[in-house]
Amino acid sequence: MSLAPILSFRGGQFGKSFPHSTRLADCLVDKVLPKPALVSRGRQSQIMTKRTLNVVELRYVLTFYLAQHGRTTVGNLVEALDYYNFAVQGRASKSVSDALRWEAALGRVRSLLA
């Protein structure tokens, strides 16, 4: 049994400013993302770039993810950030925990083990 806290989104906190149909990658649509560098590996071409999120952007991305996918663990959130090519400064699990602690204090997310 894992002791990692399971987190969930508390719906209805954002009103009209929080569209539930928004995809995770669309939460930063107003930001100008850097052009990805194209890396060629034999026959395959792979786009290699990560968007480093600041604290506020990380909080919004995590809240959007929880709203779309439901309850999950901090480890799964770190893996999801990597999957969507987002990076954070410092240790990822600590940055995610700190962001979620702030959102929990505002009542937007909650730990289901607490």
**CB under 8 Å to 47, separation ≥6 — which residues?**
36, 37, 38, 39
- What is the full per-residue pLDDT of the chain (114 aa) written as tens digits? 344 455 555 554 444 444 444 455 554 444 444 444 444 555 555 566 889 999 999 999 999 999 999 999 999 999 999 999 999 999 999 999 999 999 999 999 998 875
Specify the pTM. 0.61
Strand residue runs (E) in the chain: 6-9, 37-41, 44-48, 51-52, 72-73, 86-87, 109-111
Structure tokens belonging to residue 7 = 């987190």
User: Could you tell me the CA-to-CA distances from 8 to 3, 12, 53, 87 in Å, in that order?
Assistant: 16, 13, 21, 22
